[in-house]
Chains A and B, each alone.
Chain A
């Protein structure tokens, strides 16, 4: 499974766009990149997944360059309620499982 590296923490202000980058140099052909969000006292919640190029949904965008060695989660116009831990992980379709890393604690300030 791909080992991922993320910044430990990030700060932002309400209304700003936030980009969280994840490094996964040893990503395998069968790995998809998946992002989760976790609030205190709750289980992680799926945000978005991609294999390459760009994926967008109603919550976020995910950019994965051609070499797939990194990915960037983009959160448009964050609000205070986006303060959470964000996890980048690789989902291996052969193994059928994912391994969570340490995550990035995003703090959105007023």
Chain B
């Protein structure tokens, strides 16, 4: 199993541009989470999906952020327009079951986003 695959690994963009981060979950994992990590705020849960349906998006900072999961194999996190304060490492994590965390989340390697 290749694990959770995120792309790109690094993204540098100019303020105002649209940014799309991608995640391919582990096959068979029903829950998918998007986290953001910064030095100041640590790891923040942005949104999570269960069976491709958004369950809780209360962590999404503002309307500039949107996330989709069109099928069980793919999710995107989009920022439009991007701002320098969005600079962070964005992680995607998946879990096989919403109810049981017996095996914990499996995290991807993250996307380091820099907005200049």
Q: Could you tell me which A residues sit within 8 Å of B by CB distance?
A: 32, 34, 36, 41-47, 49, 87, 91, 93, 95-103
Contacts and interface: CB of A to CB of B under 8 A. Distances in A.
A36 B104 contact: yes
Interface in B46-101: 48, 50, 55-56, 91, 93, 98-101
Contact of A49 (B33, B45, B99, B104): B104
A103 B104 contact: no
B64 to A, nearest CB: 22
A32 B108 contact: no
8 contacts: A44-B43, A44-B91, A46-B103, A87-B43, A93-B100, A96-B98, A96-B99, A100-B43
A74 B107 CA distance: 23
A43 B110 contact: yes
Given A96-B31, A96-B48, A96-B50, A44 B107 contact: yes
Given A44-B105, A49-B104, A96-B50, A103 B33 contact: no
A97 B45 contact: yes
Interface of B: 4, 31, 33, 35, 42-45, 48, 50, 55-56, 91, 93, 98-110
A27 B17 CA distance: 42
A38 to B, nearest CB: 8
Nearest to B56: A97
The 6 closest A-B pairs by CB, nearest first: A46-B104, A43-B107, A100-B43, A96-B98, A91-B101, A43-B91
Contact of B105 (A42, A46, A93): A46
- Residue from B31, B100, B103, B108 whose CB has the most chain A CB atoms within 10 Å: B100
B55 A34 contact: no
Contacts of A95: 56
Nearest to B30: A96
Contacts of B103: 46
